[in-house]
Amino acid sequence: MKNKTKLKNDFPRIMTIREVSEYLKIPVSTLYSLSKKGIIRGVKLGKCWRYLETDILALWQLKEAA
């Protein structure tokens, strides 16, 4: 059991489109558009989009560097 808990902590958090929308304070429809254009990195699994928290946080680093 300890190994499963440890492994879970080694991977970045996976966020839903609603979680990312709330975090970035943008509408879900805008997030869909940005994801489809590849501006925000995400993976579409069936009908659902999923995002790595580390990718969302990296957006701020890219904006600060620009």
Residues in the chain: 66
Pairing relationship of beta strands 43-45 and 48-52 according to DSSP bridges: antiparallel
Q: Is residue 31 part of a domain?
A: yes
Q: Is residue 43 part of a domain?
A: yes
Domain interval for residue 20 = 16-65
Q: Is residue 11 part of a domain?
A: no
Q: Is residue 4 part of a domain?
A: no
CA dist 50 → 1, 3, 55 (Å): 26, 25, 11
The average pLDDT across 13-17 equals 97
Q: Is residue 33 part of a domain?
A: yes
Work out how many domains the chain is built from and give that number.
1
Q: Is residue 10 part of a domain?
A: no
pLDDT bucket at 5, cuts 50 / 70 / 90: very low
Q: Is residue 38 part of a domain?
A: yes
pLDDT value of position 2 = 53
- Enumerate the β-bridge partners of residue 16: 50
pLDDT value of position 59 = 87
Q: Is residue 48 part of a domain?
A: yes
Q: How is residue 32 written in tokens? A: 């869909």
